[in-house]
Amino acid sequence: MAYFRTQDGCSLYYETIGFELARPVVVFLNGTLQTTMYWKVIAAALKPDFRSLLYDARGQGESELGELPLCLDLHFEDLCALIRHLGLGPVCLVGLSHGSLLAYAMARRKPESVNRLVLCAIGVRAPIRARLIVRSWLKIIENTGMDTLVSAVMPHVFGEAYLVRNSRILDRIAKTISRRNRAPSLVAHLSAMAGYPSLRSMLNKLEAPLLVMCGSDDPLVSVDGAAEVAEISGGRIMVVKGAGHSIPVEEPELFLKTIVKFLAGRWTDMPEGI
């Protein structure tokens, strides 16, 4: 557990797992409403084959929001600065949703710094329903607060199967998510995302091997949209049946098994879908 101070004075929280060994590094990138806690079990399971770096982006979890306006470029600069601070060479990037967008930007702008990418819940051609859902989140948190927002978000970020399996503890899950986030920071985050460049404008053939994972029950990202990201970028698509937007927590065993094979270079025998 440590803090890194950016050039503009913003304090970013990060954790390293398995750094006592000289192994490839995997950087986990949070989605909206996520913190380093989301990745800890998965990162621990990657030992001893990989080192893991977890961190909260500006405004997430234990990190400060800072004084600068949030934007994708700023998150990119923070990630580059943290990697330099830790003296890391090329890394593998594993992102979810917003984290996937940041990972893609990194692979485009600093390809020499990226070995492999696993991107979850990312796609072009977002349904109009998805755009309206995300737009409503900002209005909800501005008018009612964090607890109401989390209650509204959960049916959209978890698939039906996960919600059914965890129906008795959904209130506890919602309270945990709410406790780990701060309303002003989330307002800044959601507001900034409206000004991000479109993913379609960023798409190009990537130098690093890429795996795109998409849930078949994700109302925010279409399977076709995820497949287009993989096709244009020269990567592969894996559709996880029954999963929603939060594949790593909804299907943790499958997710872990998949990324271990992919990050280790044993991806030629992986199925094209599932």
Q: What is the predicted pLDDT for the residue at 270?
A: 53
Mean of pLDDT values over 49-76: 97
250 touches 217 (CB < 8 A): no
Least confident of 128-137, 176-185, 253-262: 128-137
Q: Is it the case that residue 126 has pLDDT exceeding 80?
A: no
Q: For residue 267, name the pLDDT band (cuts at 50, 70, 90).
A: low
First to last CA, the chain: 36
Q: What is the predicted pLDDT for the residue at 158?
A: 97
19-49 pLDDT per residue, tens: 988 899 999 999 999 999 999 999 999 998 9
Helix crossing, 72-85 with 98-109: angle to 10°? 70
Return all residues near 169 (Cβ < 8 A) that are at least 6 apart.
none
267 touches 241 (CB < 8 A): no
Q: What is the predicted pLDDT for the residue at 43?
A: 97
How many Cβ atoms are within 10 Å of 142's Cβ, its own excluded? 14
Q: Is it the case that residue 268 has pLDDT exceeding 70?
A: no
Q: Is it the case that residue 202 has pLDDT exceeding 90?
A: yes
Residues listed for the chain? 274
Ordered domains of the chain (ranges, CATH):
2-126+197-263 (3.40.50.1820)
Mean of pLDDT values over 210-231: 97
Q: What is the predicted pLDDT for the residue at 274?
A: 42
Mean of pLDDT values over 165-181: 96
Q: Is it the case that residue 251 has pLDDT exceeding 60?
A: yes
Give the whole-angstrom CA distance, residue 225 versus residue 233. 12
Q: What percent of the chain has pLDDT over 70?
A: 97
Mean of pLDDT values over 136-146: 95
**Best CA proximity match to 25, nearest among 84, 68, 67:** 84
Give the whole-angstrom CA distance, residue 153 versus residue 174. 9
Q: For all residues of the chain together, what is the average pLDDT?
A: 94
Q: Please name the residue that has the structure tokens 């190009």.
A: 204
43-56 pLDDT per residue, tens: 999 998 999 999 99
Model pTM score? 0.95
Q: Is it the case that residue 269 has pLDDT exceeding 80?
A: no
